[in-house]
Structure 1
Amino acid sequence: EKLQIDLNMLGKWAAENSMVINPAKCKAAGHGEKSKAVCFTRSRVTEPLNYSLRDIVIPEASSCKYLGIILRIDLSWADKVNYTAKEAWRALHFTMRILKKGKCNTRSLAYTSLVRPILEYGAACRDPSRKGQINALDRVQNMTAKFAHHKNDPNRETLTDRRKIACICALFKAYTRERAW
């Protein structure tokens, strides 16, 4: 009910300032669906969410994408981890095609600058805890090690360790009120 009041106030504010908010073009949910409302809870919601903006009903969705992070209504990271792994594989295969005959240094640098940022984006907030999700992300790094060095390097820093460091740094910055990002 409070959200609907806020939506009404937003519509009124937009009208007063000669602005038009088109609910059909709103993207409050992921997967390419338009104008969706998402309720985040682990409990079962029995009543439907009937929100509207300018008398146009905003349908419900099971997830939304915000700043590149996919948020699901059950607060699971499965969609984000799968999407991240898919994008990282795409970037890795592109790199492998381009640098097929490149030196090990060049291949390693390409991974560090093109693939690893995809794997680490938002890692401080979406650290996966399920083994399958962790393995999906680690498979990309293992394939890169084989591609760049033609072997598995047991001394390399794992993505899990890098995610832990990112979480600790984000917590420290939040604790000291430093801008984390």
Structure 2
Amino acid sequence: MKINPTKSKAVCFTRARVTEPLNYSLGGTVIPEASSCKYLGIILHSDLSCSDQFNYTVKRAWKALHFTMRILRKGNSKTKSLAYTSLVRPILEYGAACWDPLRDGQINALDREQKKAAKFAHHRNESNWETLTESRKIARICALFKAYTGEGAWKAIGDRLETPCYLSRGDHGKKIRSRKQQTDIGKYSFCKQNHTALEPTTCRCFRYSVL
């Protein structure tokens, strides 16, 4: 495999305000330093914030939805619904476990796209589609389960999961130790959210799928 240095970026992932310049080169070509890069369709920022990925997702979904609305203006409800779930919703759900928004404004912005689609397909703001919040919740549970079982590339994250120092009578043997987090990135990651707010659901997943 040949790597093109002109299409590469050097990103330093840190919370420090002042960092030393990165001096990387490949084949005599200096790799430019950047504050963010895209990897497998996900924008990774140097401070691990998800605002760039969120804005990118909303913009792509908005374009796809309005394109669908122009093309299927005279289509029936079933066709419009199928177009949304096939073309627009996958954009809103792609990699959601990595960039799941934590602010109400961001969550509402994503929900507005689905409400627009519901009004377009069913002429009302509500539909029988699964909510985006519920979909992201399931994605977080699946991500935690893959990390816990060490599936594929998730093993590196799973190795960082620890068992608690003490288990009460109501606990189970597959419980994950909860760590204190100092930043929002840690507090709202799929690992932290799942074994606190989603503990009952993950317990059932581990009992029936791991044991």
Q: Are positions 1:122 and 2:95 aligned together?
A: yes
Match of residue 137, structure 1, among 99, 106, 110:
110
Match of residue 83, structure 1, among 56, 63, 67:
56
CA offsets per residue over residues 99-143 of structure 1, 9 Å max, x none? Answer: 111111111111111100011000122111122222221111111
Secondary structure, counterpart of 1:42 in structure 2: coil
Secondary structure, counterpart of 2:25 in structure 1: strand
Tell me if structure 1 keeps the 8 A contact 2:84–2:117. yes
- Cα deviation for residue 53 of structure 1 reads 1.7
Aligned length: 154
Secondary structure, counterpart of 1:147 in structure 2: helix
Tell me if structure 1 keeps the 8 A contact 2:69–2:120. yes
TM-score (normalizing by structure 2): 0.67
Counterpart-to-counterpart distance in 2, 1:99 and 1:42: 46
Q: Structure 2 counterpart of 1:23, which letter? A: P
Unaligned ranges ≥5, structure 1: 1-18, 28-35
TM-score (normalizing by structure 1): 0.77
Counterpart-to-counterpart distance in 2, 1:21 and 1:177: 29
CA RMSD of superposed structures (Å): 2.1
Counterpart-to-counterpart distance in 2, 1:20 and 1:69: 23
Q: Are positions 1:74 and 2:47 aligned together?
A: yes
CA offsets per residue over residues 17-75 of structure 1, 9 Å max, x none? Answer: xx864422x23xxxxxxxx2001111223321111222322221010000000000011
Secondary structure, counterpart of 2:96 in structure 1: coil
Q: Structure 1 counterpart of 2:47, which letter? A: D
For the structure 1 residues 52 and 178, does the alpha-carbon distance in structure 2 shift closer, same or farther, using more than 3 Å as the test?
Answer: closer
- Cα deviation for residue 160 of structure 1 reads 1.1
Q: Are positions 1:176 and 2:149 aligned together?
A: yes
Unaligned ranges ≥5, structure 2: 155-211
Between the aligned residues of both structures, percent identity stands at 75
For the structure 1 residues 20 and 89, does the alpha-carbon distance in structure 2 shift closer, same or farther, using more than 3 Å as the test?
Answer: closer
**Greater relative contact order (Cα 8 A, min sep 6): structure 1 or 2?**
1
Counterpart-to-counterpart distance in 1, 2:43 and 2:4: 23
For the structure 1 residues 109 and 52, does the alpha-carbon distance in structure 2 shift closer, same or farther, using more than 3 Å as the test?
Answer: same
Tell me if structure 2 keeps the 8 A contact 1:81–1:137. no
Q: Structure 1 counterpart of 2:90, which letter? A: P
- Cα deviation for residue 170 of structure 1 reads 1.8
